[in-house]
Amino acid sequence: MSNFIKIIAYSICLVCQCCLTETGLAQQTFSVFMEKGIRSDEDKEFLQAVANFEHAIEIEPNNEQAWLSLGVVRTHMKEYGLAVVDFNKAIYLNPQLMTAYLYRHIAFRETENYLFAFSDINYYLAHNQGDTIARKYRFEISMLLKEWSVAADDLFWIRNNLGEDMFTAMFTQLAASIQATKSFAEFQPIVTQCSLANPSNVTVLLSMVNNSYQLSDYNTCLRAVNPALVFQPHNLHLLKIRADVLFYLNQLEESEKAFEYLLQLESTDGNAMADYGHCLLQLKKWGEADEWLTKSIANKNTSPAYAYLGRGIARFNMGKTGIACTDWERSYLLGEKNAQKWLEENCPSTNNSKP
């Protein structure tokens, strides 16, 4: 009886040793496949990397790192749909595996599932606030989704941590995105905050000028355009805006001088000539207004109806009613509705001929 027990005990011992040996070999094999997979991925041998990681998963199907690694290779292969499946499995196995959220965000972004991508990058940054690359990723997707306040948060974080040059480059991206979507009202508090943070940043100053002008916030625009011109005194775009803003603010004498200076630098700008002519109209300088509005028409300004209207007003006030009516008719035919009033009040003989 005791010999039988000894035989059973010995048999159990052999089985246990065999199990331990197989477990050790399996573990060793899993590690080998993982290492091979990583090496193949680094060498851009992606198909081999996938095969190695799939072998590793066969050995340890609940290892989140293996699923994560497989998903990363899929993203390198641009197989983003399959990558999402792998990252989902990794997150299911370990919901705190932050790297999986970062990479899944990339896969979602590349498949244009921007809301899912935005959710993942937000979750990742909530746990890894100091990740510079992730900040840039979120900044880019925030612009796509018009999440301007989130984009601004990342913009200021970049400025505080990476300096003014990187900030300026990213601010330029944001300003271009705003311009494309015409989200001027949403951009105004952001550009204002940026301007207060560094009043000498020319890129920000120029954006403040343009954005305020688009919003018809002429007082703010004027406060920005003057320091901007200190940095770029011959910037024709800035000079044109300054002259226009002074006109809109009814600072007519200053606007007149601003247009004179602008036209000294750019003598063929038909649009500036038209605006200058209308400024002269407000100053009741009829002859000069007629002269400059005629020049603007000759130089093919982009709003000839506006120029014909103004020239008609100048000529009417000079007692030249006949040719004034001709100008107003042309203005009306070109789409200037205000010309109708001048025609009806001063050119009764043309009322029946208007379209």
Count how many Cα atoms sit within 13 Å of the Cα of residue 349 in the half-sphere of its side chain: 5
Q: Which phi and psi (to 5°) does residue 248 adopt? A: -65, -30
What does the pLDDT read at residue 27?
56
Residue type, 67: W
Q: Under DSSP, is residue 300 helix (H, G, I), strand (E, B) or coil?
A: coil
What does the pLDDT read at residue 15?
36
Angle between helices 202-214 and 218-231 (to 10 degrees): 150
CATH 3.30.70.20 at 1-128, yes or no: no
- Print burial letters for 86-125: b (CB count within 10 Å at least 16), e (below 16): bbebbbebeeebbbbbbbbbbbbbeeebbebbbebbbebb
Picking from 128, 121, 201, 132, the residue whose alpha carbon sits closest to that of residue 161 is 132
Residue type, 186: E
Listed by start position, the domains of the chain span 1-128
**Do 256 and 244 form a contact (C-beta atoms < 8 A)?**
no
What does the pLDDT read at residue 1?
42
Q: pLDDT by residue for the chain (355 residues), tens digit each?
A: 444 333 223 332 333 333 333 444 445 699 999 999 999 999 999 999 999 999 999 999 999 999 999 999 999 999 999 999 999 999 999 999 999 999 999 999 999 999 999 999 999 999 999 999 999 999 999 999 999 999 999 999 999 999 999 999 999 999 999 889 999 999 999 999 999 988 889 999 999 999 999 999 999 999 999 999 999 999 999 999 999 999 999 999 999 999 999 999 999 999 999 999 999 999 999 999 999 999 999 999 999 999 999 999 999 999 999 999 999 999 999 999 999 999 999 997 655 444 4
Runs of H (alpha helix) within the chain: 2-42, 46-59, 64-76, 80-93, 98-110, 114-127, 132-144, 148-162, 164-181, 184-197, 202-214, 218-231, 236-248, 252-265, 270-282, 286-298, 304-317, 321-333, 338-346
